[in-house]
Amino acid sequence: MRSTVKAEGVLELSLVSIPTPEPGPDEVVVRVEAAPLNPSDLGLLFASAEPAAMQAATGADGLPVVRASLSPEAMRGLASRLDQAMPVGNEGAGVVIAAGSGNNAQALLGKTVSIIGGATYSQYRVMHFGQCQPLPEGTTPAEGASWFVNPMTALGMIETMRREGHSALVHTAAASNLGQMLVKACLADDVQLVNIVRKAEQAATLRALGAKYVCDSSSPAFMDELVEALAATSATIAFDAIGGGKLASQILTAMEIAASRKMDAFSRYGSSTFKQVYIYGMLDRSPTTLHRNFGFSWAVSGWLLTPFLQKAGGETVGKLRARVANELKTTFASTYARHISLREALDPKVIAAYGKQATGEKYLITPHV
Amino acid sequence: MRSTVKAEGVLELSLVSIPTPEPGPDEVVVRVEAAPLNPSDLGLLFASAEPAAMQAATGADGLPVVRASLSPEAMRGLASRLDQAMPVGNEGAGVVIAAGSGNNAQALLGKTVSIIGGATYSQYRVMHFGQCQPLPEGTTPAEGASWFVNPMTALGMIETMRREGHSALVHTAAASNLGQMLVKACLADDVQLVNIVRKAEQAATLRALGAKYVCDSSSPAFMDELVEALAATSATIAFDAIGGGKLASQILTAMEIAASRKMDAFSRYGSSTFKQVYIYGMLDRSPTTLHRNFGFSWAVSGWLLTPFLQKAGGETVGKLRARVANELKTTFASTYARHISLREALDPKVIAAYGKQATGEKYLITPHV
């Protein structure tokens, strides 16, 4: 599958048929059996086009093509990908059906593996052995498809919390697949977690998983409940998937109120408790508004998985990957609303459905079905 | 001088007459000759009251008293200082007229010293020897009064830039006393500095000091000029005195545009160049609005001098203090619009003037005139 931003202001999604290259000595050929449609994939796939506006066209060889127009503002931010047919799909899982001559590649032959590294919305993918994680006996490709982006992000949040000297954390859009994994991982690790959701039924989902602190931002009592949860947990770091609006600011304000309860003297510079909000998602693309009534000991920053993993180093990453592989049926289990073929993934009606990115409505591509 | 927030919702500023205590072995008595009215002092002095609204009342012993009412919202943030008569004035300079028995205290006897540590809007002040910095022969108290808050902040910014791996910096409200010091300190240290001012005449002031990059945020070409200055200097850290509005966001956007010119491949997560804006002032108390079109490698954080100095440690602080003392007539020279007495500092008309905090309109209190 390819996503192309054309110079005339059109986004085109298409399927192309290309020969599978011979693997090099350290490479393997993976028959891709399953690959999830993550928000991070949809960003690359749709550029800034409206998913519901995609219209079917006729492609070469009877392969599907869909197109939508891009606004001039959107085009300005896309200059560096003009007229490049970009392969899509960050992760997935499948079976190693051929391997290069090297020992590491040969060791994977016949194995079911999870993969990371792009272009996974393909039927076959040649990859370096290091991009493959062998799965335990009995774990299927569908179970292993969402092994990296969400699970490693959840573990990366806990790891970041520890490395930066915090002892409990906050997560927003907490009912997502990722959020549910984080609830389970925090329970396993005995880390206190404050979950922020946007609907009452999402709170119930998380409580059923064992979440102790769930605050519903649509409730009139939200700020009071958040302050109490922060005071109880001493959480001073938050990971925010939403980004826009006032939620990051509300979290910092509530952290400051919780921190100032422990102060015995007035300081007009606020508490000395350092409060961090990391924005890692873009569910709301509107501006972030900070009402700076939380002193001077705070930061709002961007957070991305890849730079975190680079900083953490190979040994840590290896440990985290192995943990995920072993817990794919429990802590890191994903659920999908629907399995779709590559052709269905380019059907305008199906695109409109998965393009909504509704919580609990994640799709899985099964390229050989 | 005292600032008191009364439970009934009134701010009261007053002068009180108290005996000067005997100095302990490590303490000295300083006859305060000069103390500046810094923005940080005015914050404590006025709580959230409107300076122009202060009205004269009659105090005990014929000493002046002025009062203003505080809004219920303001009162909520002031609960922890209710009915405490808080002494005002962070820094100043004077002459040591008595000293405790310890060697360090005795060594200061008769010396002209700069002081730091609160309650400097006083005629006499007992201080630990460590809060005093002896001034070079020929430096007057008026020249040494603004030795800490602004100069140490300017040097703290350069030091923070170096410690956090940046090579050039951005400063806003750059025509302030502090901004002018920073221009001179950066020239002396061969550090590239991008100055952002709000008026054309302020740009001229800074250029006259030798500033190479000055961008006027009131100019229609502001963003273009800022991008060019950031591209030329590779500045990736900014110190923002304003806080509210969109300036912090504009700086991050301009840094990202400058950084992306050096990229050869598209990344929808933006550049990997880390971009930092520190908000250290509150000239605009309105919300900070971040239009997150600058990727994920960024942070907006609060910055305060005191925690920075604690982190930097005693040896660094000692070096910075000694540098300031030696350059009080050059790099760290302050200019004042007016010298006023303690009584004048509580005159409603004078309060209305210095309460405006206009750039270039700083006042100096001379408590014995």
Chain A positions in Cβ-Cβ contact with residue B263 (cut-off 8 Å) = 80
Please name the member of B84, B280, B302 whose beta carbon is closest to the beta carbon of A295.
B302
Residue A226 contacts residue A250 (beta carbons within 8 Å):
yes
Kindly indicate the confidence band of residue A204, based on its pLDDT and cuts at 50, 70 and 90: very high
Chain A positions in Cβ-Cβ contact with residue B307 (cut-off 8 Å) = 272, 297
Nearest Cα residue to B82 out of B179, B4, B18: B4
Kindly indicate the confidence band of residue A243, based on its pLDDT and cuts at 50, 70 and 90: very high
Mean pLDDT calculated for residue range A148-162:
97
Would you state the pLDDT for residue B270?
86
B268 to A44: CB separation less than 8 angstroms, yes or no: yes
Mean pLDDT calculated for residue range A237-265:
93
Three-state secondary-structure class, residue B14 = strand
Please name the member of A268, A279, A302 whose beta carbon is closest to the beta carbon of B44.
A268
Strands B10-14 and B64-69: antiparallel
Of A352 and A60, the structure prediction assigns the larger pLDDT to A352
Closest chain A residue to B263, measured at CA = A80
Q: What are the tens digits of pLDDT across the range A103-137?
A: 999 999 999 999 999 999 999 999 999 999 999 99
Average pLDDT for consecutive 10-residue bins of chain B (369 residues)? Answer: 96 95 97 95 92 88 92 84 94 98 97 97 97 97 97 98 97 93 97 96 96 97 97 98 97 95 77 96 93 95 95 95 96 94 96 88 94
Would you state the pLDDT for residue B266?
67
Would you state the pLDDT for residue B52?
94
pLDDT at A231 over 70: yes
B146: CB partners within 8 A, 6+ apart = B36, B38, B91, B177, B332, B334, B362
Nearest-angstrom CA–CA distance, A175 and A360: 8
pLDDT at A58 over 80: no
Closest chain B residue to A48, measured at CA = B268
pTM of the model: 0.89
Mean pLDDT calculated for residue range A74-100:
92
The tokens describing A248, both together, are 């990051």
Nearest-angstrom CA–CA distance, B273 and B295: 9
Q: Taking the CB of residue A329, how many other CB atoms lie within 10 A of it?
A: 13
A307 to B249: CB separation less than 8 angstroms, yes or no: no
Nearest Cα residue to A349 out of B42, A340, A358: A340
Q: What are the tens digits of pLDDT across the range A254-286?
A: 999 999 888 777 677 889 999 999 999 988 989
